[in-house]
Copies of this chain bind each other. A is one copy, B any other.
Amino acid sequence: MMETMESCVPPGFRFHPTDEELVGYYLKKKVASQKIDLDVIRDIDLYRIEPWDLQDRCRIGYEEQNEWYFFSHKDKKYPTGTRTNRATMAGFWKATGRDKAVYDKMRLIGMRKTLVFYKGRAPNGQKTDWIMHEYRLESDENGPPQART
C-alpha cells in the first residue's frame, strides 16, 4: 500500500477525508465493488482486532496518525436477527449519542454512528478513549424516519 501511495500522491498531501467523501466516494464504491483509485482504506475484521492494534494494520505511509480508516463487514449478533454484534476479544463497541446524517449538498447519502470502546463484557465494561465513527449508506428513499427531518 505504501508503494501505491508514494507512486501517486505527491509530497505534502494527507488523507483527511470529509464525511461526504468517506460515504459518497469510498463507501459507495466499496459497497458497489467498484475500483477505488487508491487503496488507502484497508479491509479488516473489526471483531477480531482490538482498537490498539488498528494502527499497524491501517497505517498510511509514514505519517504520525491518530485516526485510522478501515472497511469491515457488520457482524450479526444472532444469525437470524438484525442486532449488530460489535464485541472483540478484549471488549466491545457501544453506540453513543445520535447518528449524524451525511449529506452530499442537500441530498442524504449516509449516516454516521459514533461508538466508544469498553474493555470487558456488556453490560459492564470499562470505558476507554477509543472512539469509532461507523458510516453506512442511506438515502431519503430508504432512510429511517428519524433521518427525515
Could you tell me which A residues sit within 8 Å of B by CB distance?
8-18, 21-22, 25-26, 36-38, 40
Contact = CB atoms under 8 A, between A and B. Distances in A.
Indicate how many identical chains form the complex.
Answer: 2
Contacts of A40: 10, 12
| Majority secondary structure of chain A interface residues (helix, strand, loop or mixed) | loop
Contact of A26 (B12, B15, B26, B37): B12
A38 B12 CA distance: 11
Contacts of A14: 13-14, 16
Contacts of A10: 8-9, 36-38, 40
Contacts of A18: 12
A26 B10 CA distance: 10
